[in-house]
Chains A and B, each alone.
Chain A
C-alpha cells in the first residue's frame, strides 16, 4: 500500500509544475487607430511620452492602474521600432518587467504606420536588409560562438546574464536578427558595423537560420543544451533500465 502511495505522490508532484501556465508577460490589449500618430497616442504615449521624450521614474499615472515610465524614443530609428513591435516586446504591460517575445497584436499595416511615425522623432538606423545567402555558415558559426554564444548559447537556446534572461532565437526572421544586433534591445550590447561588419552579420544570420532547425544526427536532441540532460538520460533512463533488467534476469542468492 505504502509503495503505491509513494509512486502516486511522486508522479503527482512531477506533473503539477508542467500543468501550470507558461511564463511570460501578462497579456496586453491594443487600441486600434487609423494613423501612426493615433496608434502611438493610444498605445505608447502613456509610457514614452506624447512626443517620444520618455518618462523617468517616479513616472506618470496612465491608463487604469498603470504608472508609465519609458525611455526616450528620439533618434532610435526605424530598425529599433520595427524590432520591438515585430517581436512582441512592445507594448509592455509593466515598465519594470523584462520585455519578452510574445504574440504580436498589431497588424502588419499598423506596425508600418507606427514605425514611420516613431522614426520621424529623429534620425536613427533604418531597417536593415541582410543577405544571409551571401554569408558563410562556418564563418557564421565561429563569429556567433565568439560574440553571441556567451549569452545566447551556441545553439541559440538562450540562457541568463546577471539580472536578465537571455531569449532563444527560434522564431526570429533574418531582418529581426539584424535589427537586434545593430540596435541592442534591453540589456544586449549594440554591435556597430566596425565591430561586426555587414558581411560578418550575413554569416551570423545564416548560422542563426541554420541553428533554428539544425540537423540532429543522434535523433533525440534533448533540447540542445549540452551534457547535463544527456547525463540525465544516461542515469535516469539507461541505468534504471539496466537495473530493472538485472532484477528480471537475475536471481538472489539464497542462504539457509
Chain B
C-alpha cells in the first residue's frame, strides 16, 4: 500500500475514534472538577449495547414488514422491548461509569442586610395607616367573593334537570299502546312461552328513552302473587317489567328459571352489573342486591287480535333513584 493510502486509512480510523483518543492538556486555568479515571472498557460496552439496540429496532421493522411470520405480535413486542432494554442498559452504563460526578456540601450563607429588613418591616406597618375600619372592609370583601363565586358557578345547574324533574317521570306508555318486539312487529301473547324471557318496546316510540324497554316473562297463574291493586295486570300469566334496573340503570338481561322448583331457586330477573335480583311473581320485589326499589311493572291486556297492549303506566318511576322519587308517579 502506498504511503498516501495508509495515511488516509489512519485519518479515517482516528475520525471514527476506533481507538480511545488521548485528551489534550488542560487550558491555563486550574481544574474545576476532580480528575476522573478513564473507562475504555465501559465505553466499549456502551457501543456494543447501542449496536444491539439498533439491530433489535431493525428487527422490529423486518417483522412488521413480513406478514407471513406466525406469532408476529409476540416478535414485534420482543424486538421493540429489547431495543428499549438495550438502550436503557447503555444509558445505565454511561450514568454509572462515564459521567463525571462530584458531591459538594455548602453551609447556608450568613444573614446579610439586617438593617434593610427592619426598614422594610417599618415601611409595611406605616403604609397600613390610612385604613381605619379594617374588619368591616374584610367582611364586605368576603361577601363579594362569595356572591361572585356563586354567580360564576350558577350556570352549572343547566347540565341537567335539578329543579324540574318531570323528565325523569315521563314514559312513552299509555292506555292502549301496543307492544312490539325487537323487529318492530306487534308482540302476540301466544309468542310468550314459559321459561323464557323477551324484550319489548312501545310501538312508534323512541327506543332510547329510559322507560321504553320492557322485559316480559310468563309464569303459571298459581305462582303469581301481585300486590293489591294490580289484579288483572298479568293476563294469562304474562308479566311486563321495565328492563332498566332500579339500581344504576343497566339493562336486565339475566333470567333464572328453575327446572325443579321444589329444590331450585325460584324465577328471578337478575341484572348483570351488580346482580340486583327481582322476583317477577310478586311484582318485582328486590330479592338480593343493591337495588333500593322494586322493578316497575306495566299493566297489560290482550286485545282482540291477540296482541299485547299496555293498559296504563308503570307502577312507579323507571330507572335509578333520585331525591323525591317515591313521591312521584310516572306520566
Q: Are A185 and B263 in contact (CB under 8 A)?
A: no
In the assembled complex, the CB of B228 is this many whole angstroms from the nearest CB of chain A, namely 27
- In angstroms, Cα B267 to Cα A162, docked, is 11
Q: Are A189 and B195 in contact (CB under 8 A)?
A: yes
Q: Are A187 and B196 in contact (CB under 8 A)?
A: no
Residues of A within 8 A of B77 (CB): 219
Residues of A within 8 A of B256 (CB): 161-164, 187
Q: Are A219 and B71 in contact (CB under 8 A)?
A: yes
In the assembled complex, the CB of B101 is this many whole angstroms from the nearest CB of chain A, namely 10
Query: Which of A69, A70, A190, A218 interacts with B196 by CB under 8 Å?
Result: A190
Contact A160/B275 with A187-B265, A190-B196, A195-B196 known, Cβ cut-off 8 Å = yes
Q: Taking CB as reference atom, which chain A residue is nearest B264? A: A187
A-B contact count (CB 8 A): 80
Query: Which of B92, B105, B257, B289 interacts with A249 by CB under 8 Å?
Result: B92
Contact A190/B262 with A162-B270, A219-B71 known, Cβ cut-off 8 Å = no
Interface footprint category on B: 20 to 34
Residues of A within 8 A of B275 (CB): 160-162
Interface footprint category on A: 20 to 34
Dominant SS at the A interface?
loop
Dominant SS at the B interface?
loop
Residues of B within 8 A of A217 (CB): 73
Query: Which of A146, A162, A187 interacts with B259 by CB under 8 Å?
Result: A187
Q: Taking CB as reference atom, which chain B residue is nearest A192? A: B193
Q: Are A184 and B270 in contact (CB under 8 A)?
A: no
Interface residues of A in 190-239 (CB under 8 A from B): 190-192, 194-195, 217-219
Interface residues of B in 45-85 (CB under 8 A from A): 71, 73-74, 77
Q: Are A151 and B254 in contact (CB under 8 A)?
A: yes
Q: Are B253 and A190 in contact (CB under 8 A)?
A: no
Chain B 196-217, CB within 8 Å of chain A: the 1/0 string? 1110000000000000000000
Q: Taking CB as reference atom, which chain A residue is nearest B73? A: A217
